[in-house]
Amino acid sequence: MTTINKAQFWQDHVTAWQGSGLSQAAYCKQHEIKFHNFAYWRNRLSPAKAPSAKLLKLGGMPASSRMIMNLPLGVRLELSASDLPVVLPAVLHILRESN
């Protein structure tokens, strides 16, 4: 079976499972397919989730102590150096959630 045929085969099963009302395990058992293969293809075929934007309101920043961070997806973060210890852990948490 070619990769395209495999992808279509599994996409058909994922679509059928979504409309079946069954758990993934029950669907796999009923259709005599291996659960780990089903889960692999379900994850592979699912659309990538875009990270949600979260805004943090910061106080005024004197230009002399401004920090600039260039993040993934073209995001540029400018903040006061004094806010860095508070903001950086939150930024790292958001980035970890998006992966």
Listed residue (31, 3, 2) closest to 16, CA to CA: 31
Other CB atoms within 10 A of residue 91 CB: 17
Asked if residue 52 has pLDDT above 70, the reply is: no
AA identity, residue 59: G
- Residue 27, domain member (yes or no): yes
pLDDT of residue 1: 74
**Pair 11, 40 in one domain:** yes
Contact in structure between 66 and 80 (CB atoms under 8 Å): yes
Element at 78 (helix H, strand E)? strand 75-80
Question: Which residue range(s) make up the domain with 85?
Answer: 63-98
pTM of the model: 0.48
Tell me the per-residue pLDDT of 1-50, one tens digit each, with 9 for 90 and over. Answer: 777 789 899 999 999 999 999 999 999 999 999 999 999 999 888 876 65
Tell me the per-residue pLDDT of 72-94, one tens digit each, with 9 for 90 and over. Answer: 777 787 877 777 778 778 877 87
- How many domains does the chain contain in total? 2
Which residues are CB-neighbours of 48 under 8 A, at least 6 positions away? none
**Pair 8, 38 in one domain:** yes
